[in-house]
Amino acid sequence: MAKRNGSAAGKKPAAATTQPILNVDGVTLQYKTKEHLITATYRVGFDVYPADRFVLLGPSGCGKSTVLKGIAGYMKPVEGSIRLKGREISEPGPDRVMVFQEFDQLLPWKTVKQNIIFALHNGGKTDTAAEAEDIAMEYITKVKLTGFEDTYPHMLSGGMKQRVAIARGMAMEPDVLLMDEPFAALDALTRLQMQKELLQLWEDTHFTVLFVTHSIEEALIVGSRILVMSPHPGQVKAELNAHHLNHDNVGDKKFVKVQQHIHDMLFADRILEDEIQAADRT
């Protein structure tokens, strides 16, 4: 335990004795396309504890985004249960705020500040306009966008838009913040910057976050615990610890070891898939 760095050291052992905040149990999710009924995940289960930076990692098609949609309440599981603080999730709600990959998640007809106030007001977080304004400005400062509060989203860069989305999500102080590949559409340098800032924000308030990514490196840097998923249909392959890894470890021995381990796990599937495809073609 002594090896854990930063404030995670004080938080983690305590978490082990508390109840999980989010409980996903044997969840099968299906959706329909025009021609098929697709099983996106099959009996996926995991527990998220308070202050976890829980990462869902896997190749495309492993249903990680679908799991997040299930938790957000946009999809109902056909089997199993998703419980937040012991209560079954039935519909979307402001206790689970989602940050999307797409830049158009900000409402273009509202300024940066108005976007946050819109969330606070409609999510029933604040009663008075002054209170909402204060909270909005506090989080705008936190994501380093002071001076841009009255700017419309179309004037912002991609990274800035994602910062606003994160500020909007955090301002709601949800039980769990759901992030669906939030940095995937950013350039590499901005992505690095955003990962660092997210970790700094986490150091401040130790919010619980569920983070979906297909980048092993990002998972290891951002996450404290990683759920590795395999595709077609999405199933749980492994659950690993990554609380001891961050940007400073990139490239060093223990980082590369875990990275390689996950890579092998995912790559095993990849080879199989290629073989199947090759067999199909002949």
Q: Is the Cβ of residue 26 or residue 108 nearer to another protein in the bound state? A: 108
Torsion of CA 79, 237, 263, 29, to 10 degrees: 0
> What is the layout of strands, in order, in the sheet containing 53-57?
96-99, 176-180, 209-213, 53-57, 225-230, 235-241
The one segment of 26-34, 117-125, 214-222, 262-270 that binds another protein by CB under 8 A: 117-125
Tokens read off for 280: 């199909």
Query: Residues with Cβ < 8 Å from 127, sequence gap 6 or more?
Result: none
Among all chains, which residue has been given the structure tokens 């340098």? 189
Closest distance to another protein from the beta carbon of 109 (Å)? 4
Closest distance to another protein from the beta carbon of 110 (Å)? 8
Q: For the chain, list the strands marked E by DSSP.
A: 22-32, 37-48, 53-57, 79-84, 87-88, 96-99, 176-180, 209-213, 225-230, 235-241
Which 25-54 positions form the footprint of another protein (CB under 8 A)?
Answer: none
Closest distance to another protein from the beta carbon of 143 (Å)? 18
How many beta carbons lie within 10 A of that of residue 262, not counting itself? 22
The one segment of 33-41, 102-110, 198-206, 251-259 that binds another protein by CB under 8 A: 102-110
Site string for another protein, 77-96 (x = CB under 8 A): --------------xxxx-x
Q: Is the Cβ of residue 26 or residue 124 nearer to another protein in the bound state? A: 124
Does 154 interact with another protein (rule: CB under 8 A)? yes
Does 157 interact with another protein (rule: CB under 8 A)? no
Among 67, 97, 179, 219, binds another protein (CB under 8 A): 97
Tokens read off for 187: 């350039």
Q: Is the Cβ of residue 35 or residue 150 nearer to another protein in the bound state? A: 150
Q: Is the Cβ of residue 155 or residue 272 nearer to another protein in the bound state? A: 155
Query: What is the Cα–Cα distance from 273 to 12, expressed in whole angstroms?
Result: 38
Q: Under the rule (CB under 8 A), what is the footprint of another protein?
A: 72, 74, 91-94, 96-98, 100, 102, 104-105, 107-109, 118-119, 122-124, 152-155, 172
